[in-house]
Structure 1
Amino acid sequence: MDLQYLEFDCSEDTEGVVCWDALAQPAASHTAALLREVTQLLSWANRFSPQGAGPLDEGADWDFDLQIQLHPPRSPHSTPAQAHWHAAQQTLDIHPAPGPGDRVELSLSLSGTPAFAQALREHANVP
């Protein structure tokens, strides 16, 4: 997987849990591509561990936090959007959905076990 919009910073705790944090705010014309990239990444993670995302201290291999703000054109204000990952369908729903000219500000934190971290590094260009 070649990530074009998500550029991650990485940290690791003393128990080997790795956390990647990315912030993306591309031009409105790239919103669909950014959301496809997030969907592809979460789909890969779900295939890695079919039990899905969840607290690592409760036995899950990976977890994530996704925050989205919508920036309408010519407006100084942003609107928070709710993102919901449907693991079974491997789809990402956003409410309200971005409008045609909305710029999306997306924050993604992805954490995983050492095995997940190694697999992700082999699959995508992450640190």
Structure 2
Amino acid sequence: MNLQLLDFDCSEDAEGVVCWDALAQPAPQHKTALLQEVAQVLRWAHGFDHEGPGPLENGANWDFDLQVTLLGHDGKPQVATPRFVPSTGQLSLLPEPVNTQSLSLSLSLSGTPGFVQAFRTQFEQA
């Protein structure tokens, strides 16, 4: 499955832990599609490992960090708190962006070798 809006850069440490980092700042008309794509990735990750995310050094298979900043017409950034609900697969932001607001998004995913291979296969990532 190809991702259309998330473009990940990949790095790997000596223990085989891989981290994918994606930055995106879509035009306002594409922000809903971007958030849906992020939710798709998180739904897949939760489906891969029902234990959910957590620190890899504590035995988790994967973890993530999602940061979102809303950008208003006045140029002032406003941090939005993302909330992903695994049971519904829904991603929401508080506050919710208005139609004309653009956003800046950062998503980092890290995982153990098993998670890494499954992610690469699912999302065709190098």
Same fold (TM over 0.5): yes
- SS where residue 64 of structure 1 aligns? strand
Give the distance between the partners of 1:67 and 1:34, measured in 2 at CA. 13
* Corresponding residue for residue 77 of structure 2: 78
* Corresponding residue for residue 36 of structure 2: 36
* Corresponding residue for residue 91 of structure 1: 90
- SS where residue 60 of structure 1 aligns? coil
Q: Runs of 5+ in structure 2 lacking a partner?
A: none
Equivalent pairs, count: 126
- TM-score, normalised relative to structure 2: 0.96
Give the distance between the partners of 2:90 and 2:65, measured in 1 at CA. 15
Tell me the percent identity: 51
Give the distance between the partners of 2:78 and 2:104, measured in 1 at CA. 10
Please give the residue correspondences for 1:1-127 in structure 2 after superposition, counting only pairs within 5 Å: 1-72=1-72, 74-127=73-126
- TM-score, normalised relative to structure 1: 0.95
Give the distance between the partners of 2:117 and 2:77, measured in 1 at CA. 36
Alpha-carbon RMSD across the aligned residues, in angstroms, is: 0.9
- SS where residue 36 of structure 2 aligns? helix
Q: Runs of 5+ in structure 1 lacking a partner?
A: none
Give the distance between the partners of 1:6 and 1:57, measured in 2 at CA. 26
- SS where residue 26 of structure 2 aligns? coil
Give the distance between the partners of 1:71 and 1:126, measured in 2 at CA. 29
